[in-house]
C-alpha cells in the first residue's frame, strides 16, 4: 500500500501527518508494528491511525482482534473512514486532536 496508497491515505499523509503537520509529532506511513503493518504510527504518542475503506466492513472482527493485540503493547488505535478523510480532512484533524486532548494548534 505504501507504493499505491488510496486517495484517502495520500490526503491524510499530505494534510495531517507528513512534515510534522500534526502538532509537531512525527508519524510514519505503513509502519511494521509488532506483527502488523499499520497505516500511520507516532511513537511519541503511542498512536496508530487507521484509514478504513470498503474491504474493512467485512473484516470488523479481524480489525477488533488486531486492535486488542496492539493495545497489549500500549498502543492506542484511532480509526477514520476513507469518506471522512475525503469529505473533510480538516474535521479529522480537529477530531483527532480532541480525542488526544491536544487542544487547538493555534
State the pLDDT at residue 57.
56
pLDDT classification of 33: cutoffs 50, 70, 90: confident
Mean pLDDT, residues 29-41: 90
Q: What is the pTM of this model?
A: 0.85
Within 8 A by CB and 6+ apart from 69, the residues are 34, 36
Query: pLDDT, tens digit, for every residue of 41-97?
Result: 999 999 999 998 655 456 777 778 788 888 888 999 999 999 999 999 999 999 999
Band of pLDDT at residue 1, cut at 50, 70 and 90: low
Kindly state the helix (H) or strand (E) to which residue 55 belongs, with its residue range: none
On whether the 7-99 domain is CATH 3.40.960.10, my answer is yes
d(C-alpha 13, C-alpha 87), whole Å: 15
Amino acid at each position: 500500500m505504501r507504493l499505491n496508497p488510496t486517495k484517502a491515505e495520500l490526503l491524510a499523509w499530505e494534510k495531517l501527518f507528513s512534515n510534522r503537520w500534526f502538532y509537531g509529532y512525527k508519524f510514519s506511513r505503513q509502519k511494521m508494528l509488532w506483527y502488523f503493518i499499520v497505516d500511520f504510527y507516532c511513537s511519541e504518542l503511542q498512536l496508530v491511525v487507521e484509514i478504513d475503506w470498503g474491504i474493512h466492513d467485512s473484516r470488523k472482527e479481524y480489525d477488533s482482534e488486531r486492535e486488542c493485540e496492539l493495545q497489549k503493547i500500549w498502543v492506542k488505535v484511532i480509526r477514520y473512514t476513507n469518506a471522512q478523510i475525503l469529505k473533510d480532512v480538516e474535521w479529522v484533524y480537529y477530531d483527532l486532536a480532541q480525542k488526544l486532548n491536544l487542544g487547538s494548534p493555534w
